[in-house]
Amino acid sequence: MTDNTTQQMSLLALGLTAQAGRNPDITGLSVDSREVKDGHLFFALPGAQVHGGAFIQYALRMGAAAVLTDAQGAEIAAEELAASDAALILTEDPRGALAQTASLWFGAHPDTVIAVTGTNGKTSVSTFARQIWVEMEQAAVNLGTTGVEGVWTHPLKHTTPEPITLHRALAAARAEGVSHVAMEASSHGLDQRRLDGVMLSAAGFSNFTQDHLDYHKTFEAYFDAKMGLFTRLLPEDGAAVINIDDPKGAEVVALCEERGIEVITVGRHPDARLHLHAQRFDATGQQILFDWQRGRFSARLNLIGGFQADNVLLAAGLCIASGSDAEEVFDTLPYLTTVRGRMQHAATRKNGGSVFVDYAHTPDAVATALQAMRPHVMGKLVAIVGAGGDRDAGKRPLMGAAAAEHADVVFVTDDNPRSEDPATIRAAVMEGAPEATEVGDRAESILRGVDALGPGDALLIAGKGHETGQTIGDDVLPFDDVEQASVAVSALDGDLI
Ligand SMILES: CC(=O)N[C@H]1[C@@H](OP(=O)(O)OP(=O)(O)OC[C@H]2O[C@@H](n3ccc(=O)[nH]c3=O)[C@H](O)[C@@H]2O)O[C@H](CO)[C@@H](O)[C@@H]1O[C@H](C)C(=O)N[C@@H](C)C(=O)N[C@H](CCC(=O)O)C(=O)O
Ligand SMILES: Nc1ncnc2c1ncn2[C@@H]1O[C@H](COP(=O)(O)OP(=O)(O)OP(=O)(O)O)[C@@H](O)[C@H]1O
Ligand SMILES: N[C@H](CCC[C@H](N)C(=O)O)C(=O)O
Ligand SMILES: [Mg+2]
């Protein structure tokens, strides 16, 4: 699908050669047969559920002028293809071809694009990179879970959009004058070649822990998908910025060095080139000391959570790796602001008890977020945790266990049960947190969590972050943790502080 209905391109201009059929001009690109229009090139992709070859017959009926698929897709639709004069383009890697074709169809993207991968921290790192650039007066956006944000905004359904949406958004960003983009590379996106065709200046690695095993099946396959960013997408003249505090960091460095890619290591590890030397916490943020090229620097971060300093330095490293001046980058750090739904202060009770909302939805993130709150909290730490339906089921008891280990009081509640039975999901989380209180209704659990706060206590509402809905079955009911925290405080204390 394209926005510009008058655009036409030959197969040749799109870098494609037809094995059979005529040689038409293409009027648009589609991956879904239901969206095909007259003259479109339909990509029949091997899917997780079904092969897109099964939909070639419908795409042809909708007027597709060309079909790109693999041998299996062509076999499924052999009869329909033989009876049609549509061009047939065969390739072993239709998803890669889709990405390359979408990049040619939509044209140039902003000059500087960086991408970050890792289980946790992608949205945070890409948002900080965008904030750094904007402070340096560059026209910048970040692109990922929270949509396109920055000097130009645009909603997105996926963390790494499929190539047609991605290249359309990148080309539109360029047309709006955007010069710098920081994007998230999700493991699904990498595995499905969604970002192939994007010319990266630099790529970052935050960390590697459990998530998405429902899709990737094994840790090895999950890691390999992520490594595609460094082994396939990042050009040899690009630079990699790698957190070497993560146990997998050294492996990522080795993969980059094998290709002769310049590496900037980041972390608390003494060997890190951008080295976090010390951190001191207070009620509203932290002071950090760090080293770069034999110089020592200090900065005040108005951000809660020790791990945010790791994310900030990774973002700073990516800006430096893609051409910004290091000292100018460091000067922006005191101006960075909380990323929506990440350790976001949501409300304070009259007695001083405070409420934070965080997007922790993996075992490691739950542990990290709760540990990060400790130095800022004098009293007890209360956690509300739940796990999503139709997602990695193995992480559920581990998320419960992380909450039980790092909080003093735990409530287990619902977080987007989707097609699954919410009680079954909660039971799995409770396996890891047998002492926790189970309160299925999320609003009620927030009310109970806020009610449990005394002076000096804090509540972490984990899992939904910036989300504004609770997905139950196919319905998305409006739900916002930040809003519910305020509602609970005003219900209990009479008015808001
Ligand atoms: C599991 C997954 O990633 N699925 C993606 C995949 O779909 P699929 O392989 O399951 O598709 P399928 O249902 O088997 O169908 C095969 C093909 O037939 C086509 N089709 C299907 C039906 C029809 O009538 N006509 C038709 O042409 C489909 O468009 C598809 O191309 O390929 C599609 C086309 O590229 C994607 O849109 C789709 O993303 C779905 C919507 C999705 O929800 N993905 C999520 C899990 C995701 O990608 N999340 C990541 C991670 C977020 C994080 O880090 O936490 C993200 O980047 O957002
Ligand atoms: N560097 C980090 N190390 C460990 N945990 C982190 C780190 N950064 C963020 N987190 C935790 O992970 C949560 C999600 O952070 P963020 O949204 O930046 O990650 P993401 O990788 O974009 O997630 P998604 O896979 O949903 O796109 C945060 O709310 C926090 O709890
Ligand atoms: N992008 C993540 C978000 C999870 C957030 C949590 N609220 C859930 O629904 O599990 C995923 O789709 O796995
Ligand atoms: Mg994200």
| Whether residues 328 and 421 fall in one domain | no
Nearest by Cα to 189 from 255, 250, 143: 143
Provide the CATH number for the domain around residue 327. Answer: 3.40.1190.10
Q: Which of 305, 335, 365 is the last residue of a domain?
A: 335
Name the residue of 146, 216, 361, 464 whose CB sits within 8 Å of the most ligand 3 atoms, as the mutation to test its pocket. 361
| Whether residues 321 and 364 fall in one domain | no
d(CA 442, CA 444): 5
| Whether residues 386 and 488 fall in one domain | yes
Sequence-separated (6 or more) residues with CB below 8 Å from residue 121: 206, 207, 307, 310, 311, 314
The pocket around ligand 3, CB under 6 angstroms, is made up of: 159, 361, 388, 391, 415-416, 463-464, 467
| Whether residues 417 and 310 fall in one domain | no
Q: How far is CA 233 from CA 147, 225, 350, in A?
A: 22, 11, 52
Residue 3 lies in a domain: no
Give the residue numbers spanning the domain of 49. 9-102
Residue 376 lies in a domain: yes
Q: Please tell me whether residue 194 adopts helix, strand or coil conformation.
A: coil
Q: How far is CA 350 from CA 54, 107, 383, 444, 449, in A?
A: 61, 55, 20, 20, 15
Which residue bears the tokens 């539109």? 172
pLDDT at position 1, please?
44
| Whether residues 419 and 453 fall in one domain | yes
Provide the CATH number for the domain around residue 367. Answer: 3.90.190.20
pLDDT at position 330, please?
98
Rounded distance from Cα 479 to ligand 3 centre (Å): 14
Residue 1 lies in a domain: no
What's the Rg (C-alpha) of the chain? 24
| 391 annotated binding-site participant | yes
| Whether residues 282 and 242 fall in one domain | yes
Q: What is the pLDDT of residues 121-166, one digit of tens each?
A: 999 999 999 999 999 999 999 999 999 999 999 999 999 999 999 9
| Whether residues 40 and 189 fall in one domain | no
pLDDT at position 121, please?
95
| 186 annotated binding-site participant | yes
| Whether residues 453 and 400 fall in one domain | yes
| Whether residues 191 and 218 fall in one domain | yes
pLDDT at position 2, please?
44
- Amino acid in the structure at residue 429: V
| 249 annotated binding-site participant | no
| 124 annotated binding-site participant | yes
First to last CA, the chain: 48
Residue 224 lies in a domain: yes
Per-residue pLDDT tens, the chain, 497 aa: give them.
445 568 999 999 999 998 877 788 999 999 999 999 999 999 999 998 899 999 999 999 999 999 999 999 999 999 999 999 999 999 999 999 999 999 999 999 999 999 999 999 999 999 999 999 999 999 999 999 999 999 999 999 999 999 999 999 999 999 999 999 999 999 999 999 999 999 999 999 999 887 887 787 788 888 888 899 999 999 999 999 999 999 999 999 999 999 999 999 999 999 999 999 999 998 789 999 999 998 999 999 999 999 999 999 999 999 999 999 999 999 999 999 999 999 999 999 999 999 999 999 999 999 999 999 998 888 999 999 999 999 999 999 999 999 999 999 999 999 999 999 999 999 999 999 999 999 999 999 999 999 999 999 999 999 999 999 999 999 999 999 999 999 999 999 986 54
pLDDT at position 283, please?
77
Rounded distance from Cα 336 to ligand 4 centre (Å): 18
d(CA 371, CA 381): 10
Q: Which of 335, 365, 400 is the last residue of a domain?
A: 335
| Whether residues 267 and 126 fall in one domain | yes
DSSP string, 400-419: HHHHHHH-SEEEE--S--BT
Rounded distance from Cα 144 to ligand 1 centre (Å): 16
User: 243 near 249, Cβ under 8 Å?
Assistant: yes
Name the residue of 120, 143, 310, 398 whose CB sits within 8 Å of the most ligand 2 atoms, as the mutation to test its pocket. 120
Q: Nearest C-alpha to atom 10 of ligand 3 is from which residue?
A: 388
Looking at the CA of residue 464, tell me the nearest atom of ligand 3: 7
Cα 20 to chain centroid distance, Å, stands at 39
Q: Is the interface score ipTM higher than 0.90?
A: yes
Cα 157 to chain centroid distance, Å, stands at 11
Strand-strand pairing, 262-267 and 239-243 = parallel
Provide the CATH number for the domain around residue 31. Answer: 3.40.1390.10
| Whether residues 423 and 309 fall in one domain | no
Residue 87 lies in a domain: yes
Rounded distance from Cα 361 to ligand 2 centre (Å): 8
Residue 4 lies in a domain: no
Q: What is the pLDDT of residues 6-28, one digit of tens each?
A: 899 999 999 999 887 778 899 99
Q: Which of 335, 366, 397 is the last residue of a domain?
A: 335
| 418 annotated binding-site participant | yes
Rounded distance from Cα 34 to ligand 1 centre (Å): 14
Residue 482 lies in a domain: yes
pLDDT at position 33, please?
96
| Whether residues 189 and 297 fall in one domain | yes
Domain count of the fold of the chain: 3
